[in-house]
């Protein structure tokens, strides 16, 4: 990755200038003030590819927080799995080695199982549904589940996108195409359950190991949003994209409870305000990118296919997927979800 000077993301940002801004995140932290000048020195980490919009937005938030605090807080930023895989990062933030971590809901559900409520297959019809849920009753439920795991939510959710299935060997248009199909999924029980219910053979692999797994044919396909497919250069090792929108996944910014609580009230409020702003700006970035990425990925060699979504939804229902997860997540989670989506069973 070329090293380029930091660039602010403007509202009319082009794809090229956006990548320059994102790639500007340096390897060893973004701030250069001496630690002795700050009352609080903290680490912010992500597991997302360097060109994912969330990295540039969190970098900017860290800079704003340090400036607005008059240098009382030093935030060192470590994007793109610099401090370990997703599962490593969760362990570190729970132990206090990392103070803030941006993590997919699908992955945080490994320690806060109720967070999987946002990953129920084909639950959210569109972004209006998704944001109404996570900014409302569904988000409040997830907050409680994350707090039970000993962590804190420190901002609104940001967008890990609706997910599509990609493949190297064949188009995936119907549930029958997934019979015994080797597909990578995140380290998340509900993803494994969804694809097993559709007859596939899912394998849980951390994102930072995904490209190699596809390249070496450990798995033939995977599923992610278009932003992750592009930022991870998965078009180099995949041929087809099936537009399934089978799961929408948020990013949650979680904090170590002791670290966040150690901050004075005014600094806690500043941190939450700026991280909320970063989340909202990232949501807007993803909307803009999704408007252009399909053409870009076609140019890169991917073939887009129309998926039979009703057939996938019916296959999940017939397999007992919804009944199983209603029982696993519990009545409170399911009530919150269905207050947004309507009946799922």
How do residues 34-69 score in pLDDT, each as one tens digit? 445 899 999 999 999 999 999 999 999 999 999 999
Predicted local distance difference test score (pLDDT) of residue 143? 98
Residue 194 CA, distance from chain mean position: 18
Inter-axis angle of helices 309-319 and 321-329, to 10 degrees?
Answer: 60
Mean pLDDT of the chain: 91
Residue 203, H or E segment: strand 201-204
Sorted by where each begins, the domain ranges of the chain are: 15-160+250-293, 164-247+297-341
Say yes or no to pLDDT of 26 above 90.
no
Q: Phi/psi at 223 (nearest 5 deg)?
A: -145, 130
Architecture of the domain delimited by 15-160+250-293: 3-Layer(aba) Sandwich (3.40)
What percent of the chain shows pLDDT beyond 70?
A: 90
Measure the CA–CA gap between 78 and 333, rounded to whole angstroms: 33
Tell me: pLDDT of 14 over 50: no
Cα gap 274→68, rounded to integer Å: 10
Residue 345's pLDDT band, with cuts at 50, 70 and 90, is confident
Q: Which CATH code is given to the segment(s) 164-247+297-341?
A: 3.40.190.170
Tell me whether domains 15-160+250-293 and 164-247+297-341 share a fold.
Answer: yes
Say how far apart CA 55 and CA 316 lie, in whole Å: 34
């Amino acid at each position: 990755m070329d090293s380029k000077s930091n660039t602010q993301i403007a509202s009319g940002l082009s794809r090229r200038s956006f990548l320059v801004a994102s790639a500007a995140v340096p390897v060893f932290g973004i701030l250069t003030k001496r630690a002795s000048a700050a009352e609080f020195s903290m680490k912010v980490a992500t597991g997302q590819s360097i060109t994912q919009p969330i990295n540039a937005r969190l970098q900017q938030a860290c800079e704003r927080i340090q400036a607005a605090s008059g240098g009382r807080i030093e935030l060192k930023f470590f994007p793109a799995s610099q401090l370990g895989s997703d599962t490593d990062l969760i362990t570190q933030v729970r132990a206090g080695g990392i103070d803030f971590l941006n993590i997919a809901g699908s992955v945080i559900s490994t320690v806060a199982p109720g967070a999987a409520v946002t990953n129920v297959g084909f639950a959210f019809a569109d972004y209006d549904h998704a944001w109404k849920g996570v900014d409302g009753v569904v988000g409040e439920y997830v907050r409680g589940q994350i707090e039970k795991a000993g962590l804190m939510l420190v901002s609104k959710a940001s967008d890990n996108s609706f997910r599509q299935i990609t493949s190297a060997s064949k188009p995936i248009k119907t549930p029958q195409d997934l019979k015994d199909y080797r597909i990578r999924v995140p380290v998340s029980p509900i993803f494994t359950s969804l694809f097993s219910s559709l007859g596939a053979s899912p394998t849980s692999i951390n994102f930072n190991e995904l490209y190699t797994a596809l390249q070496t044919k450990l798995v033939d396909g995977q599923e992610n949003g278009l932003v992750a497919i592009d930022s991870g250069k998965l078009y180099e090792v995949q041929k087809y994209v099936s537009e399934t929108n089978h799961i929408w996944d948020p990013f949650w910014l979680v904090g170590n409870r002791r670290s966040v609580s150690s901050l004075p009230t005014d600094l806690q409020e500043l941190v939450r305000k700026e991280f909320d702003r970063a989340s909202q700006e990232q949501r807007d970035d993803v909307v803009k990118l999704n408007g252009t990425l399909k053409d870009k990925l076609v140019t890169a060699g991917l073939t887009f296919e129309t998926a039979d979504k009703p057939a996938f939804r019916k296959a999940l229902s017939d397999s007992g997927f919804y009944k199983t997860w209603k029982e696993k997540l519990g009545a409170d989670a399911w009530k919150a979800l269905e207050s947004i989506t309507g009946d799922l069973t």
